[in-house]
């Protein structure tokens, strides 16, 4: 750890161990490492890169996002509330006959049914995504590592969390080394 | 990454060509059945009364419109692919070019349509009521449209559409097929050059052809959306037909590595997109007419709310939109050849019904405003031209390479992948 630039934060904060991180020098190396870690049976880990790496979902063995389920539910909720709203306003609360049209009809309701379904689905996508990613949060243990900040620029990082049932600091470090990881480092819970 | 493509294996002859004479039997069978259907339609039209004749002519007209829609939409699709220099579709484009190149089948069947009309004139049965002088006598609205709706100008337009379509499809076909032998990359550039003005011509001719051949069956009625409505439905059915051809070729052990699940996925996305687009356009057309409530516009919709048409009309939003929408929504469905094949078959049937719904209620006996209900014989009349077309297509598919062999975008097409 002596080679860390600056010790403004983090590396020796003395907090409990959060996990171990390693750097990889290109997306292909990161993908290969992910493939290996997946096969080794780890479950609490993630990769970080400056741009989306094609094929990474497959390499990591990620299942399709559950956000679509949230969206489907919100879509139905939007459709139902648009139906209820228009029926209640038009036929119950404030009935006014306009141009001989029915007080409520599916024809005139359709644009709003469509719009609210889309609106609710979009909310479902945004807030569902945040929820599933456990966002928003103030900080993340990895932000304590100055080198980690380079993943928004030119570094490819993998981190395995210590609460993974298969986690063992020594063996994880050895695995990272064998996979070609550099700057392998302990990550502590935030100071 | 991990799945490297063996190009020589993909380009092997037994992968990109059908064996000599493959599909000949099926082709002859389909053409035969279709021809018998057309024959039965003609016999029914001339042996029955005027109501029977009108129904048969309109149902046959429906089939012809579907066939023309296949080729014209395929031409539009090929031009979009060429114009956008699409790499993903390089391996599947040939099958759409095959559909496009059968423009002559639509033309031939349309001539039969006109002969049909000509022979029935003596019996005062009309596909196009505005051609009937007895019908338009003293009609104020017709007087105003006479400058456009008259037989000489109609004939000029029909000829113009077909000339434009023949020339465009021929140019695109030649550019692609000549490349198979000489590998000249400039043919790709030429196809792109043709496609820019071609798309403009395609948009105008397909819209006006649908006005002339379908919308003016009730010449009082008008809908500015009708051209897009025809385009959207034709795209759905054409893409479905192309998907069926490609899936069938895979089932016969061809196109391994050339038509992959990735291409299938994208093709299914397009089918899905155009299904939604069709729903959007046809609902908008109906909705505006419903809301404005102007008699000369609502008359067309009212005919479709009479008798059995009323409940048959519900087949469109349900069968042409909700069912395929829900079926194609999950990603695994769009990546399953079996699922896409079934949905495609269903969508082609629905598109035929959509055209039938737009055309057939216009069949009337002169002097009798009764809207003639659907008839079982119509199925034969609609399917006749469609089966002939599919039969010719089967032969066409077997007659050459299944992919553009030397397209410069082939490497991109072969390595195409959807990253979520």
Residue of chain A whose Cα is closest to the Cα of B3: A55
The predicted model gives B68-93 an average pLDDT of: 97
Q: How many CB atoms lie within 10 A of CB A52?
A: 10
Q: Given CB atoms, is A149 within the 8 Å cutoff of chain B?
A: no
Distance CA B308, CA B314 (A): 11
Q: Given CB atoms, is A107 within the 8 Å cutoff of chain B?
A: yes
Q: Tell me which chain A residues have a C-beta less than 8 angstroms from the C-beta of B420.
A: 57
The pLDDT score that the predictor gives to residue A5 is 44
Which of A31, A33, A55 best probes binding to B when mutated, by most B CB atoms within 10 angstroms? A55
Q: Tell me which chain A residues have a C-beta less than 8 angstroms from the C-beta of B291.
A: 101, 107-108
The predicted model gives A128-144 an average pLDDT of: 92
Q: Given CB atoms, is A63 within the 8 Å cutoff of chain B?
A: no
Residue of chain B whose Cα is closest to the Cα of A54: B419
> pTM score, two decimals?
0.90
Distance CA B260, CA B257 (A): 6
State ipTM. Answer: 0.82
Cross-chain Cβ contact A107/B290 below 8 Å: yes
DSSP at B367: T
Positive/negative CA dihedral, B353, B265, B284, A121: positive
The pLDDT score that the predictor gives to residue B21 is 83
Taking one residue from A and the other from B, the number of pairs with CB-CB distance under 8 angstroms is: 24
The pLDDT score that the predictor gives to residue B122 is 82
- For A154, counting Cβ atoms within 10 Å of its Cβ (0-12 exposed, 13-18 middle, 19+ buried), the class is exposed
**Domain range annotation of chain A:** 17-63+139-188, 67-132
Q: Tell me which chain A residues have a C-beta less than 8 angstroms from the C-beta of B293.
A: 99-100
Q: How confident is the model at residue B2 (pLDDT cuts 50, 70, 90)?
A: very low
Q: How many CB atoms lie within 10 A of CB A36?
A: 15
Distance CA B392, CA B386 (A): 10
Q: Residue B17 phi/psi, 5° resolution?
A: -140, 150
Q: Given CB atoms, is A101 within the 8 Å cutoff of chain B?
A: yes
Cross-chain Cβ contact B291/A108 below 8 Å: yes
The pLDDT score that the predictor gives to residue B281 is 97
Q: Tell me which chain B residues have a C-beta less than 8 angstroms from the C-beta of A121.
A: none
User: Among A124-133, B14-23, B26-35, B223-232, which stretch is predicted with the lowest mean pLDDT?
Assistant: B14-23
Chain B positions contacting chain A at CB under 8 Å are 1, 283, 286-287, 290-291, 293, 331, 417, 419-420
Structure tokens that stand for B201 in this block: 């011509």
Positive/negative CA dihedral, B405, B406, B409, B415: positive
Distance between B228 CA and the closest CA of chain A, angstroms: 19
Cross-chain Cβ contact B1/A108 below 8 Å: no
Cross-chain Cβ contact A57/B417 below 8 Å: no
Residues whose CB is less than 8 angstroms from the CB of residue A139 and which lie 6 or more positions away in sequence, other chains included:
A190
Q: DSSP states of B155-212 as a string? A: HHHHHHHHHHHHHHHHHHHHHHHHHHHH--THHHHHHHHHHHHHHHHHHHHHHHHHHH
Q: Given CB atoms, is A100 within the 8 Å cutoff of chain B?
A: yes
Write out pLDDT tens, residues A55-109: 899 899 998 889 999 999 999 999 999 999 999 999 999 999 988 899 999 999 9
Distance between A130 CA and the closest CA of chain B, angstroms: 19
Write out pLDDT tens, residues A21-55: 999 989 999 999 999 999 999 999 999 999 999 88
Distance between A27 CA and the closest CA of chain B, angstroms: 11
Task: Note which residues in 12-51 of chain A have CB less than 8 A from chain B.
Answer: 28, 31
Q: Tell me which chain A residues have a C-beta less than 8 angstroms from the C-beta of B287.
A: 107-108, 110-111
Write out pLDDT tens, residues A174-186: 999 999 999 999 9
Residue of chain A whose Cα is closest to the Cα of B1: A55
Write out pLDDT tens, residues B84-120: 999 999 999 999 999 999 999 999 999 999 998 998 8
Q: How many CB atoms lie within 10 A of CB A9?
A: 13
The pLDDT score that the predictor gives to residue B71 is 98
Distance between B240 CA and the closest CA of chain A, angstroms: 26
Residue of chain A whose Cα is closest to the Cα of B331: A64
Distance between B143 CA and the closest CA of chain A, angstroms: 31
Which of A148, A188, A163 is CA-nearest to residue A23? A148
Write out pLDDT tens, residues B198-210: 999 999 999 999 9
The pLDDT score that the predictor gives to residue A70 is 95
Whether residue A8 is predicted with pLDDT greater than 50 in this model: the reply is no
Cross-chain Cβ contact B293/A99 below 8 Å: yes
Contact in structure between A47 and A34 (CB atoms under 8 Å): yes
The pLDDT score that the predictor gives to residue B178 is 96
Supply the mean pLDDT for chain B: 94
């Amino acid at each position: 750890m002596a080679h860390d630039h600056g010790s403004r934060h983090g590396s020796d904060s003395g907090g409990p161990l959060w996990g171990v991180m390693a750097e990889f020098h290109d997306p292909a190396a990161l993908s290969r490492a992910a493939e290996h870690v997946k096969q080794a049976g780890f479950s609490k880990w993630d990769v970080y890169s400056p741009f989306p790496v094609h094929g990474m979902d497959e390499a990591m063995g990620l299942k399709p996002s559950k956000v679509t389920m949230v969206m489907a539910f919100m879509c139905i909720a939007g459709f139902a509330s648009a139906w209820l709203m228009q029926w209640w306003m038009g036929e119950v609360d404030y009935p006014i006959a306009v141009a001989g049209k029915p007080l409520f009809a599916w024809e005139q309701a359709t644009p709003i049914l469509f719009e609210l379904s889309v609106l609710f689905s979009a909310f479902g996508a945004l807030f569902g995504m945040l929820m599933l990613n456990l966002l928003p949060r103030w900080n993340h243990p990895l932000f304590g590592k100055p080198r980690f900040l380079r993943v928004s620029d030119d570094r490819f990082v993998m981190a395995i969390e210590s609460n993974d049932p298969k986690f063992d600091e020594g063996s994880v470090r050895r695995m990272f080394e064998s996979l070609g990881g550099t700057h392998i480092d302990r990550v502590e819970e935030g100071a | 990454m991990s799945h490297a493509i063996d190009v020589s294996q993909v380009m092997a002859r037994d992968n990109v060509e059908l064996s000599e004479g493959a599909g000949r039997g099926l082709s002859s069978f389909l053409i035969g059945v279709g021809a018998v259907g057309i024959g039965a339609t003609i016999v029914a039209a001339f042996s029955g009364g005027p109501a029977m004749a009108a129904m048969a002519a309109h149902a046959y007209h429906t089939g012809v419109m579907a066939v023309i829609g296949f080729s014209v939409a395929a031409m539009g699709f090929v031009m979009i692919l060429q114009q956008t220099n699409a790499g993903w579709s390089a391996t599947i484009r040939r099958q759409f070019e095959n559909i496009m190149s059968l423009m002559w089948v639509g033309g031939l069947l349309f001539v039969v349509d006109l002969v049909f009309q000509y022979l029935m004139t003596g019996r005062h049965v009309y596909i196009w009521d505005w051609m009937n002088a007895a019908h338009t006598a003293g009609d104020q609205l017709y007087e105003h449209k006479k400058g456009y709706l008259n037989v000489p100008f109609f004939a000029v337009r029909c000829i113009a559409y077909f000339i434009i379509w023949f020339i465009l499809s021929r140019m695109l076909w030649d550019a692609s097929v000549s490349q198979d032998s000489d590998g000249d990359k400039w043919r790709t550039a030429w196809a792109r050059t043709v496609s820019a003005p071609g798309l403009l011509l395609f948009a105008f001719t397909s819209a006006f052809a649908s006005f002339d051949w379908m919308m003016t069956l009730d010449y009082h009625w008008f809908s500015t959306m009708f051209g897009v409505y025809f385009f959207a439905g034709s795209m759905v059915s054409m893409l479905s037909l192309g998907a069926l051809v490609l899936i069938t070729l895979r089932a016969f052990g061809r196109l391994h590595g050339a038509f992959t699940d990735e291409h299938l996925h994208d093709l299914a996305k397009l089918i899905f997109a155009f299904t939604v687009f069709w729903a959007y356009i046809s609902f908008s057309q109906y909705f505006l007419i419903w809301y404005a409530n102007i008699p000369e516009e609502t008359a067309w919709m009212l005919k479709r709310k009479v008798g059995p048409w009323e409940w048959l009309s519900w087949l469109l939003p349900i069968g042409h939109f909700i069912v395929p929408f829900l079926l194609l929504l999950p990603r695994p469905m769009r990546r399953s050849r079996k699922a896409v094949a079934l949905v495609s078959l269903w969508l082609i049937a629905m598109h035929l019904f959509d055209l039938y719904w737009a055309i057939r209620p216009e069949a009337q006996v002169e002097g009798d405003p009764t809207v003639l209900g659907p008839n079982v014989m119509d199925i034969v009349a609609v399917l006749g031209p469609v089966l002939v077309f599919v039969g010719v297509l089967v032969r066409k598919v077997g007659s050459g390479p299944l992919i553009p062999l030397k397209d410069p975008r082939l490497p991109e097409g072969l390595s195409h992948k959807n990253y979520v």
